Chain A
Amino acid sequence: MLQIENLSGGYGDKKIVDRISFSVKKGRMLGILGPNGSGKSTLMKLISGVLEPTSGVVRVDGRPVGDFPAKELARKMAVLPQLHAHAFSHTVRETVSLGRYPHQSGWFSSWSAEDEAAVQEAMQLMDISHYESTLLEEMSGGEQQRVFVAQALAQNAAVLLLDEPTNHLDINHQKELLDTIKKQAIEKELTIISIFHDINLASMYCDELLLMDEGSIVRKGEPHEVVRTHDVESVYQTRVSNHPHPELPKPQITLLPGVRRTPAGLKVKAGDFLVTPEFVAYQSQLPLKTVSSAVVNAGSGWFRNFLNRRVDANYNVDNSYEEMVDYIEDSGLKATDTVAMMTAVRTEHAIVREYAGDFGSIVVAVTAGVGNGVDVSQAVAREQRVGTINTWIMVNGILSDEAFIQAMITATEAKTKALQHEQVIDPLTGTIATGTSTDSCLVAATQQGETLPYAGPITEVGKLIGTGVFECTVEAIHLYREAKKA
């Protein structure tokens, strides 16, 4: 649909865009990324024909843009420029109606039903119909932006060039606008090229991306090929980290600020744990990076409060989440800042112990109840029963994503070994249990001090986790059994 071949150009003698080539297929959306001054807007002007290229050619449907008469080109290609101030007042309707200019010909041609329909549809799509007779100058920047998008849509062109379409918009309208454009692109098979400031928005909505720097293409391809930490960091000269979108197979990036306000010296100590008959709790001065299978705030995140709460054996598990949140708030903590799990085991029997290594130290906290031992390798129909082993591992160090997962594996292996050592039997199968049906595990790290890229059994931290979890679990089982006997 749209081919850009060897395009160069700029203002006067200054060459801003240097030999750029790419093409966009019908119905596809291409996003252009790049830092300020990388030539994105100039490239747009060269494509739209506002600037004369010094070399190269832009083709629409195989025909060079320069060969089109102005009106015919405007019926093929609509442009949304960046917002400018205006000296005169226009109503929304007048402004959107201008989009029909290329469809009107002849000296006396009048407004057709088709023109009216296109204007109405465009205003509806952009949710500005009720502003029809409002003056542009009385609207906010975001509302004005939507008016100009409607103007471009009213052109009914097969190619749309957008220069930062989400400028001035709040996040809801950013989403609405891009959803609408994307929907149009799919329904009407529009070909779209859009400049984006926001890499994450571009990644979410575009089929292809093009990363520019100093007038040239650094990388182009699908979002996963372009939104990569290394390229983004070198082009934008800033530290970023990339991570997956929670719902879409599109990579997202997060800025890493240059200024960190975290004071050093944060250390998790066994002595700071609060162990009572009601709960085991740890409150950290600063949030710890946490991965867990807790009841409240499972998954990964940063939290300050850690709670292992004792509940009655007959605790109603149906609305456990809401009840747990209420419990946390009632104890004066913020539920959003707290990871919480529960156990029927007497929490005063929790084992909390500190293990030191060359890199620093870890704290392991375990509560164990094994009345519900399960041999995970035996596929037997089971009823859920109470009895839980909750394992916490707090690391004084910087864990990588791999290390978090390896710490989990190591801890689980050590727990299973402890159950074997203690000859905990699955009452249904009569074999040695590997855990209980409701075990939870939590790994938290201060993300200060030494960097620990791995936490498998051959690493120092892995070894501490292994022995620590094994020892604590064994001891917790002892206490549990003694309490049962008593």
Chain B
Amino acid sequence: MSKTALAYLVSLILLGGAVVLGVTVGTVSISPAVIWNPSSDEAAANILWNIRMPRVVLAGLVGAALAIAGAAFQGLLKNPLADPYTLGVSSGAAVGAVMTLFFGISIPFLGMYTLPVISMIGALITMLAVMGFARLVDRSMKMETVILTGIIFSSFLGSIMSLMIALTGEELRQIIGWLLGSVSMRGWPYVQMALPFVLVGSFVLWLYRRELNAMLFGEERAQHLGVDVKKSKLAILIGGSVLTGSAVAVSGTIGFVGLVVPHITRLVWGSDHRHVLPLSFINGAALLIVCDLVARTIISPTELPIGVITAFIGAPVFAFIFFRQRRGGL
């Protein structure tokens, strides 16, 4: 078997295992047999299909979206520390989402999709602003400059959110979810809200897999190789923003997934975006399903926000990558 086929096989098995664990483990333990044979235990099947499965699918979609977006941002910026969270893009999307709830915005014809669409716009605007500012500071867009700019924007956008939360009365509990991220108590409508955008966004990024490979060698080099840099950049930014926006709209800001997953994927399977993108998608889904499982079971019956778990794993990985980049290998 080729290394590539093995990569996909291992990743899919991990994802399958994560899904099975995700729907069977919890305060009520359910036998995996119920998945294939719902009639064996009606009550368990009900919990499995109406409570746990939408939660697992949503976690999977959010993880996949953040991971593939992270992989694309890293390629685009040639920056291994970039991800929707460290770039401040998640915060931009969260501000969009909080604003939608705070002002009760509803765009005609969009209906339930108003929330993800405004989040995406928030994400895109933030992404453009961060890149624009970083370029102003340092033409070569050094790794640290971009991340520092992301932190500045995150902090600023976070304060706007805090202000809106402070001004809200009873909506407070719902909004606070966007700060730490959660996929609990969402149900199938949220899956429906995110699914089309996650698929479209991922497909757009996958179309630009070869351009991303070229851009890893720098924009100038990519242009030499025949890449329409402006067009590709815009498409990748929009694709990444769509993914981040839809993920944040349904789950809030969950950090580091887009950093950890592509990094490990590259480490194990190589840097070719033709495979890094789809593999990050699959592995991101698996990772977030497992993180959610841990979040809701580790100090059961109390549930931790999922962002706490991802940050617990992600921050050390961030430190590790930073160290490796600066000190050259380990």
Sampled A-B contacts (30; CB under 8 Å) = A48-B223, A49-B223, A50-B220, A50-B224, A70-B223, A71-B226, A71-B227, A71-B228, A73-B226, A74-B226, A79-B224, A81-B220, A81-B221, A81-B224, A84-B218, A88-B75, A88-B78, A88-B80, A89-B266, A89-B271, A90-B271, A94-B270, A94-B271, A98-B225, A99-B225, A101-B210, A101-B213, A101-B214, A101-B225, A137-B329
Q: Chain A 54-73 against B: per-residue CB contact (8 Å), 1 yes, 0 no?
A: 00000000000000011111
Closest A residue to B220 using CB positions: A50
* B128 nearest CB across to chain A (Å): 22
Determine if B114 is an interface residue (Cβ-Cβ < 8 Å): no
Cβ-defined contact, B226 with A88, below 8 A: no
Interface residues on A, range: 20 to 34
* Alpha-carbon gap, A79 to B270, bound state (A): 26
- The answer to whether residues A101 and B226 also contact, given A87-B78, A89-B266, A94-B270 and a CB cut-off of 8 A, is yes
Closest B residue to A69 using CB positions: B228
14 new A-B contacts at CB < 8 Å, known A87-B80, A88-B216, A107-B207:
A45-B220, A48-B224, A70-B227, A70-B229, A84-B217, A88-B74, A88-B266, A88-B271, A91-B270, A94-B213, A94-B270, A94-B272, A101-B213, A104-B210
Determine if A449 is an interface residue (Cβ-Cβ < 8 Å): no
Closest B residue to A95 using CB positions: B217
Determine if B325 is an interface residue (Cβ-Cβ < 8 Å): yes
Cβ-defined contact, B220 with A74, below 8 A: no
Closest A residue to B81 using CB positions: A87
B79 partner residues in chain A, CB cutoff 8 A: 87
* Alpha-carbon gap, A70 to B213, bound state (A): 16
Pairs of residues from A and B, 10 with the lowest C-beta to C-beta distance, nearest first: A74-B226, A102-B226, A79-B224, A71-B226, A70-B228, A88-B271, A101-B225, A70-B226, A87-B78, A50-B220
Closest A residue to B219 using CB positions: A50
* A464 nearest CB across to chain B (Å): 65
Determine if B34 is an interface residue (Cβ-Cβ < 8 Å): no
Determine if B143 is an interface residue (Cβ-Cβ < 8 Å): yes
A137 partner residues in chain B, CB cutoff 8 A: 329
* A126 nearest CB across to chain B (Å): 17
* Alpha-carbon gap, A88 to B210, bound state (A): 15
B80 partner residues in chain A, CB cutoff 8 A: 87-88
* B179 nearest CB across to chain A (Å): 31
B228 partner residues in chain A, CB cutoff 8 A: 69-71
Which residues, 198 to 252 on A, are CB-close (under 8 Å) to B?
A: none
Determine if A86 is an interface residue (Cβ-Cβ < 8 Å): yes
Which single member of B143, B217, B226, B270 contacts A86 (CB below 8 Å)? B217
B207 partner residues in chain A, CB cutoff 8 A: 107
Determine if A290 is an interface residue (Cβ-Cβ < 8 Å): no
B75 partner residues in chain A, CB cutoff 8 A: 88
B74 partner residues in chain A, CB cutoff 8 A: 88
- The answer to whether residues A74 and B224 also contact, given A86-B217, A87-B143 and a CB cut-off of 8 A, is yes
* Alpha-carbon gap, A98 to B223, bound state (A): 12
* Alpha-carbon gap, A91 to B329, bound state (A): 16
Closest A residue to B276 using CB positions: A88
Determine if A463 is an interface residue (Cβ-Cβ < 8 Å): no
- The answer to whether residues A102 and B221 also contact, given A88-B266, A89-B271, A91-B270 and a CB cut-off of 8 A, is no
* A314 nearest CB across to chain B (Å): 70
B214 partner residues in chain A, CB cutoff 8 A: 98, 101
* B204 nearest CB across to chain A (Å): 11
A74 partner residues in chain B, CB cutoff 8 A: 224-226
Determine if A155 is an interface residue (Cβ-Cβ < 8 Å): yes
List B residues at the A interface (Cβ < 8 Å). Answer: 74-75, 78-80, 143, 207, 210, 213-214, 216-218, 220-221, 223-229, 266, 270-272, 325, 329
Determine if A78 is an interface residue (Cβ-Cβ < 8 Å): yes
Cβ-defined contact, A155 with B225, below 8 A: yes
B218 partner residues in chain A, CB cutoff 8 A: 84
Determine if A19 is an interface residue (Cβ-Cβ < 8 Å): no
* A288 nearest CB across to chain B (Å): 51
Closest A residue to B213 using CB positions: A98
* Alpha-carbon gap, A86 to B223, bound state (A): 17
* Alpha-carbon gap, A48 to B227, bound state (A): 13
* Alpha-carbon gap, A335 to B87, bound state (A): 69
Determine if A75 is an interface residue (Cβ-Cβ < 8 Å): yes
Cβ-defined contact, A89 with B270, below 8 A: yes
- The answer to whether residues A87 and B325 also contact, given A70-B228, A94-B271 and a CB cut-off of 8 A, is yes
Closest B residue to A73 using CB positions: B226
* Alpha-carbon gap, A107 to B274, bound state (A): 12
* Alpha-carbon gap, A107 to B205, bound state (A): 11
Cβ-defined contact, B216 with A90, below 8 A: yes
* Alpha-carbon gap, A87 to B126, bound state (A): 24
* Alpha-carbon gap, A483 to B80, bound state (A): 91
* Alpha-carbon gap, A81 to B271, bound state (A): 22
* A99 nearest CB across to chain B (Å): 7
Which residues, 418 to 451 on A, are CB-close (under 8 Å) to B?
A: none
A95 partner residues in chain B, CB cutoff 8 A: 217
B143 partner residues in chain A, CB cutoff 8 A: 87
B220 partner residues in chain A, CB cutoff 8 A: 45, 50, 81
A78 partner residues in chain B, CB cutoff 8 A: 224
* Alpha-carbon gap, A81 to B219, bound state (A): 12
* Alpha-carbon gap, A95 to B213, bound state (A): 9
Closest A residue to B325 using CB positions: A87
* Alpha-carbon gap, A137 to B329, bound state (A): 10
B78 partner residues in chain A, CB cutoff 8 A: 86-88
B224 partner residues in chain A, CB cutoff 8 A: 48, 50, 74, 78-79, 81
A86 partner residues in chain B, CB cutoff 8 A: 78, 216-217
* Alpha-carbon gap, A101 to B227, bound state (A): 8
- Most chain B CB neighbours (cut-off 10 Å) among A50, A98, A155: A98
* A154 nearest CB across to chain B (Å): 10
Q: Chain A 34-50 against B: per-residue CB contact (8 Å), 1 yes, 0 no?
A: 00000000000100111
* Alpha-carbon gap, A354 to B227, bound state (A): 76
- The answer to whether residues A75 and B226 also contact, given A87-B79, A107-B207 and a CB cut-off of 8 A, is yes
Q: Chain A 337-348 against B: per-residue CB contact (8 Å), 1 yes, 0 no?
A: 000000000000
* A112 nearest CB across to chain B (Å): 14
B223 partner residues in chain A, CB cutoff 8 A: 48-50, 70
* B79 nearest CB across to chain A (Å): 7
B225 partner residues in chain A, CB cutoff 8 A: 74, 98-99, 101-102, 155
B213 partner residues in chain A, CB cutoff 8 A: 94, 98, 101
* Alpha-carbon gap, A329 to B24, bound state (A): 89
- Most chain B CB neighbours (cut-off 10 Å) among A49, A84, A87, A91: A87
* B240 nearest CB across to chain A (Å): 17
* Alpha-carbon gap, A88 to B77, bound state (A): 11
* Alpha-carbon gap, A49 to B227, bound state (A): 12
B210 partner residues in chain A, CB cutoff 8 A: 101, 104
* Alpha-carbon gap, A78 to B143, bound state (A): 28
* A148 nearest CB across to chain B (Å): 9
Closest A residue to B80 using CB positions: A87
Closest A residue to B218 using CB positions: A84
* Alpha-carbon gap, A155 to B214, bound state (A): 13
Closest B residue to A152 using CB positions: B224
A94 partner residues in chain B, CB cutoff 8 A: 213, 270-272
Closest A residue to B228 using CB positions: A70
* Alpha-carbon gap, A102 to B143, bound state (A): 29
